[in-house]
A = this chain, B = another copy of it.
Amino acid sequence: MAEPLDPDMFAGCPPVAAPVRIGDKWTAKIIRCLESGARRFTEIQAPLRGITPKVLTESLRAMERDGLLTRTPYEEIPPRVEYELTDLGRSLLEPMNAGCEWSRKHLAELMHARETWHAATP
């Protein structure tokens, strides 16, 4: 869990690449960020390319409310807050992996169908 997150870890995952979605737009990626252990706010923010603090906070709060992760603030200056997956949150990795495997196998086919679509319409 000490390893820093690769800022480009989601380079190959544009929104279009997710016909299988977990929760809202960011939930699945946040779970991936926490897969290898607890992380701080800015650590999670980095790979999520351009997510605003507001939206990240909203997503994290919703996930905390649903019991997917825990939020533990430390009374320090400067402040430090750590987010960590619960067992429930970790259990989502299973359907997530099924979705990822589907994308790896079939997404190219879907994208191809989508692109050749305009060829056959008035």
**Interface residue ranges, A against B (CB under 8 Å):** 19-23, 27, 65-68, 88, 91-92, 94-95, 98-99, 101-102, 105-106, 109-110, 112-114, 117
CB <8 Å contact, B20 and A19: no
Query: Which residues on the B side are within 8 Å of A110 (C-beta)?
Result: 66-68, 88
Given A20-B22, A21-B20, A21-B22, are A91 and B106 neighbors across the interface (CB < 8 Å)?
yes
Task: Quote the shortest CB–CB distance from A98 to chain B (angstroms).
Answer: 4
CB nearest neighbor in B for A27: B19
Count of this chain's copies in the oligomeric assembly: 2
Q: Chain B's nearest CB lies how many Å from the CB of A88?
A: 6
Give A96 Cβ to nearest chain B Cβ, in Å: 8
Given contacts A19-B27, A68-B110, A99-B99, 9 further A-B contacts (CB under 8 A): A19-B92, A20-B21, A20-B95, A65-B113, A66-B113, A91-B102, A91-B105, A95-B98, A95-B99
Residues on B with C-beta less than 8 A from A105 are 91
15 residue pairs of the A-B complex, CB under 8 angstroms, read A19-B66, A19-B92, A20-B22, A20-B92, A20-B95, A65-B113, A65-B114, A66-B114, A67-B112, A67-B114, A92-B102, A95-B98, A95-B101, A98-B98, A98-B99
